Amino acid sequence: MQPLANITPLKPAGAIEVRNVGQVFKTTTQDVVALENVSLDVKPGRFVVLVGPSGCGKSTLLMMMAGLRQQTSGTITISGAPIPEPDPNRVGVVFQEASLFPWLTAEENVEFPLALRGVTKSDRRARAQDALKLVGLDGFGKRHPHELSGGMKQRVSIARGLVQDPPVLLMDEPFAALDEQTRMTMGDELLRIWAATGKTVVFVTHSLTEAVYLADEVIVMSPRPGRIVDHLQVSLPRPRTYEMLSGDAFGSLRDRIWRHIRKSA
């Protein structure tokens, strides 16, 4: 697998290609088909949101894009090359609950992936500072996770995902545990960071409003076995504003997603 990384990517950095991907979990009692024949193209710099009923395989799909799990059929490429194992230079991941290490400070958490690669202390510190500044946490680096609010913890997680400057950021329900107001603020913050960095983002959520508000494209999945049942383009202008939430265009997009979800319930 090693030489593959040296091949010049045919696709530009940040492109994601998912071709006929399936995932079957073998358990002692039965085989669970989590995903079936999923194909998907994400162009560099796009903000793509995945929605679908709980248990339809969104997390599984994200894990495969991150190289944390291998698909049982089909191919996935990130920036033109397969991803047989996690590669933080290509893909950063942000998880749902704060998956920060409680024994490290915010800045040490952000430095963690760099420390794994033996980056020097001063270099690490400088890059962590930049990442923390980017997510609006300047001056909070010395705090431990339990001294930070839920929103701040997720900002640290995002900084950690971005610290190695990967072209792709995968986010699995990152704001699910936050209250409504924090969630709205964090959505705006994420869009600001995204605009500033130009990353490709794949974002999983349960909230239809959040999906339409954030996305360039929304991908709707069916219940298990997970398939793609709709792929919507959200052509609302950017920057997105709070007023758009009550507009007709917003409402009809949300209704269209809701009809898919309701049908499958």
Partner 1 sequence: MSAATLRRLIVVALIALWEFLPRAGLIPELFLPSLSSTLAAGWNEAGEYGHALAVTLYEVAISMAFACGGGILLGAIVGSLPRPRILIMPMVSSLYAVPLVILYPVFTVWLGIGSESKIAFASIYGFLPTMLATAAGIQTIDPQLLLAARSMGATLSQRLVRVIIPAAIPTVLSGLRVGGALVIVGVVVSEMLISSAGIGYLISRYRTILDSPHVFAGVLLVLAMAIAFNAAIKWIERKAAIWQTGTRAGQDAAGEIAPTGLQPAT
Residues that bind partner 1 (CB under 8 A): 66, 68, 85-88, 91, 93, 95-97, 99, 101-103, 112-113, 115-117, 144-146, 160
105 binds ligand ADP (CB under 6 A): no
Centroid of chain to Cα 32? 24
* CA pair distance 178, 198, nearest whole angstrom: 25
x-marked contacts with ligand ADP along 185-224 as a string, rule CB under 6 A: ---------------------------------------x
Of Mg ion, partner 1, ligand ADP, none, which one sits near residue 179, judging by CB under 5 to 8 A according to partner kind? none
Of Mg ion, ligand ADP, partner 1, none, which one sits near residue 86, judging by CB under 5 to 8 A according to partner kind? partner 1
**Cα separations in angstroms, 208 against 1, 52, 172, 204, 254:** 39, 10, 15, 11, 6
Angle at 152 between CA 148 and CA 156, to 5 degrees: 105
- Residues of this chain, 41-60, that bind Mg ion according to CB under 5 A: 59
Nearer to partner 1, 100 or 211 (CB): 100
Centroid of chain to Cα 264? 24
x-marked contacts with ligand ADP along 13-52 as a string, rule CB under 6 A: ------------x-x----x-x-----------------x
**Cα separations in angstroms, 95 against 31, 148, 193, 214:** 26, 17, 17, 17
Among 46, 58, 153, 240, binds ligand ADP (CB under 6 A): 58
Q: What is the SS3 assignment for 62?
A: helix
Nearer to partner 1, 21 or 170 (CB): 170
Do 163 and 86 touch, CB atoms closer than 8 A? no
CA dihedral 233, 258, 238, 66 (to 10 degrees): -70
Do 138 and 109 touch, CB atoms closer than 8 A? no
23 binds Mg ion (CB under 5 A): no
Nearer to Mg ion, 43 or 260 (CB): 260
* CA pair distance 215, 232, nearest whole angstrom: 9
Cβ at position 206, least distance to ligand ADP in Å: 9
- Residues of this chain, 58-77, that bind Mg ion according to CB under 5 A: 59
* CA pair distance 67, 226, nearest whole angstrom: 19
Report the chain's terminal Cα–Cα distance, integer Å: 41
Among 12, 55, 86, 247, binds ligand ADP (CB under 6 A): 55
Cβ at position 221, least distance to ligand ADP in Å: 7
229 binds ligand ADP (CB under 6 A): no
Pairing of strands 168-172, 200-204: parallel
Of partner 1, ligand ADP, Mg ion, none, which one sits near residue 14, judging by CB under 5 to 8 A according to partner kind? none
Q: Which residues of the shown chain bind Mg ion in the complex (CB under 5 A)?
A: 59
Residues in contact with ligand ADP by CB under 6 A are 25, 27, 32, 34, 52, 54-60, 224
